[in-house]
Structures are given as structure tokens and as C-alpha cells.
Amino acid sequence: MATGMALPAAATERPLTAAETDPVTLGWMQGFPPPPERVIGQPDSDYFSFPKLRWTVCHFRELLPTRRVSRGLEAPRPLPYALDKGIDSVTFSPLGGGEPMSWEASLAANYTDGILVLHEGKVVYERYAGCLDEAGVHGAMSVTKSLTGLLAEILVAEGALDETARVASILPELADSAFSNASVQQVMEMTAGLAFSEDYADPDAEIWSYNAAASPLPKSEGYEGPRSYYEYLATVQPAGIHGEVFGYRTVNSDALGWIISRTTGRSVADLLSERLWQPMGAEQDAYYTVDSIGTPFAGGGLSAGLRDLARLGQLVLDGGQLNGERLFPQAAVQRIRQGGSRDAFARAGYATLPGGSYRGMWWVLHNDHGALAARGVHGQTIYIDPTARMVIVRFASHPVAGNAANDPTSLPAYQALAEYLMARE
């Protein structure tokens, strides 16, 4: 048992590796009780610091109230398998130079906890590491936004939601906020002009007051701020002009979640279950973290099984069809694949996604293969390559909160794998 071992000393030259921070090896929460220095508990506000976060990403529900996304009661739909042992040896050149790297080596480099590749609808690759196994769930972080966006695009395609409507016409509670005269589409493309910083390095950034409002735990004595996602959204102030610049701000996703719920009478958790999780034959329930009034965190609160995210990715690739049955209008995916304003996106300066755009809360690469992706802050992704008929889903717990840290050893790996799979045919 490794429960009593000391943490590896922090290296000054490099971050601790995936192997050095393996949550099983480090012994977090092992033993009855775990040794005090290996407890990750709720009063410990430090549970999302690295390397603890490598345990926490699989255990949010043990720390926070959550709301279920039911898979229903039916048997799961099996995923067909056609594993390809050659994939580990696929090599690629990392962005920005560096030695060629194998697919297999990229997994540890990116602190991968689970990765599954579908080609032509069949599982060709599947690996688990860290805190995750096939029967577990993992925090999807901002991949959640893309599911919120997909639900909204489905409602738009079905005519239930008018993307040209002003937000305040749907949510009068936001009439005095920056969202008021933004269109639903601007919220969905994150071009609403909002004074909201997600710079975690800035103690005055709005993300901190947002987190405080969102916490379902009792507020600290004397707390006078907003007490839910909805209350917070009503306080967001304007900055800039709607529609001009892409600004990646989580509040857009939570405003969209609210728009969805007001429109459908369903929480996003229930709507995700009814529209996608149950019909696609998910094998595990998923869940959302919630605020003090039970609102699911539509901007980042989802935890799900890897295979179920793969089922979702395949459904998007197939334009809403599953085994010949149509689950939602093809237009919902077509709209996302067209992309959003590339000009607005270019002004935001994402170095690893040149020429890209953002639409329906998906990242559209506008590359030769027409790839699109859902992306989470520690390296989570649903990466869909329509040309290669490939879906990659990955859970990860990278020490750096930002995809610029893992894109150099993941985006070119995905492209190389797509080319490998296409060349097999």
C-alpha cells in the first residue's frame, strides 16, 4: 500500500508527470479511514488543486450535491468493437516543434484518464488510467457547454427556440443585465459583450464571485451577493458590442441553460436525459453539480462515462441518426458544422486554433477534415472528424487549466490518427 508515501517533491524544472501524480499510486482516499494527509473532503476547499484534482475529477459527487441524468431503465445499446493494435505506434509532430511522438506516449504527456476512438462507428481504441475505468464517470468540465449548445441547437432546428430573439424577451429577469439585448445566437456563439473575466490568476476576476454565488454550500457569514446561477446572471454588466468579438465566458452557457429550461419547462439534466441519454442507449447515468436551488451547472458541471460521451459524439457525427432512427433534426448539427463568425473568433487570438470559430458552443476547426470539438479545461474532449468518420473522446486531468497546454500534443495526434484510419481503408 502506498497510502503513507510522501508526495513527490515538486520539480522546479518541469511539472510532475502523469505517473508521478497517479491518484491510485498517491493513495488519495484509500483506507478506512484514509490517513489524514490523504483525505480529499468537502471542507477541504483545495480539492481541485493539482495533483488532488486527478482524484477529484472522478469523484465530484462525493464532494458536492448533484443531479442525475438518467439513462433510463432499458438495456444499454452495445458499442461495436474492432480494436486496432497499430494505433499506439501512430506518430505525429507536436505543434511548435519538438521530437516526433507516438500516440501512446501522448497519452501520459496529456495526463489522459481515458480515451476512446470510434472509426466508422466501431471502437478501434480504448484506454483507461488514473482515477478512471470503464465503469466510472469523469468530470467533462467545459465539454458540458457543447451538450448545452447541442440541446439549444436542437430546439432551434425544431422551431421551439428563436435564435434571433433578445434574451430579455425570454428571461425578463435579465432585462437589467448585459444579456438583455443580446440575441440567443450571440449567447450561443459567445459573442455577447459581457464584463466577465475567467482569469483565475486575477483575484478580482468575476469568476470568483460567480463561483461563490454558484456554491450549494452555506454562504460565509455576512455574504450579501447572489445565491444561485440565475441571480448571478442578472448582475452581469456589459462590455463592448454584442456580436463583434468571441469571448469565452462560462456565463453564456448558464444563460443558455436557463433559456432552455424556460423554453422547455425542463432542467438541462432532464432534457439531456430525455433527448439524448435515454434514446442513445447510454450505459451509465451521468450527473451535474448543482447550485443552492438545484440548478444544474450547464457551463461545466457534467460528469459522464467515457463510452457514453463516445455514443454522443457518434450521434453528432451521424447528424442525429442512430441505427436508422432520427433522434433530432440534422439541421442542428449542420448549423454547428457551418461554424460561427471566424472574424469574431480571430479577434480573440487562440493560437492553437487558427482560422477556427465557435458555434452552438462547439469549437469548429475549419480544417481540411471539417473537424469540430467539445473541449474541457484540463484536456477533456469530444473530437469529431467527419472526413475520417472518426470520433475521439478523451478525459484528462492536465495540471495546466487551459487547452493551450495540451493542444500541441493532442490536436496533431488526432489529425495523424485520422490519416492513419483513412489510409487503412
Residue ranges in contact with its own copies by CB under 8 A: 29, 32-34, 39, 41-43, 59, 61-68, 70, 72-73, 75-76, 134-135, 216-219, 221, 228, 230, 258, 261-262, 265, 267, 283-285, 287, 290, 292-295
Minimum Å gap between C-beta 114 and its own copies is 14
Query: Buried (b) or exposed (e) across 79-114, using 16+ Cβ within 10 A?
Result: beeeebeebeebbbebeeeeeebebeebbebbbbbb
Minimum Å gap between C-beta 174 and its own copies is 12
- CA end-to-end span of the chain: 47
Minimum Å gap between C-beta 271 and its own copies is 11
Minimum Å gap between C-beta 76 and its own copies is 7
Cβ atoms within 10 A of the Cβ of 33, count? 9
Minimum Å gap between C-beta 304 and its own copies is 13
In the complex with its own copies, which residue's Cβ is closer, 253 or 357? 253
In the complex with its own copies, which residue's Cβ is closer, 77 or 326? 77
Cβ atoms within 10 A of the Cβ of 327, count? 18
Give the active site residue among 106, 142, 303, 357.
142
In the complex with its own copies, which residue's Cβ is closer, 32 or 81? 32
Residues 108, 112, 114: CA angle, nearest 5 degrees: 130
35 neighbors 5 (Cβ within 8 angstroms):
no
Give yes or no: 142 in active site: yes
In the complex with its own copies, which residue's Cβ is closer, 253 or 284? 284
The H-or-E segment that residue 421 falls in is helix 411-424
339 neighbors 386 (Cβ within 8 angstroms):
no
Please name the amino acid found at residue 275: R
Place of cell 495526434: 413
In the complex with its own copies, which residue's Cβ is closer, 101 or 233? 233
Please name the amino acid found at residue 301: G
Rounded CA-CA distance 371/50 in Å is 31
Residues identified as active-site: 142
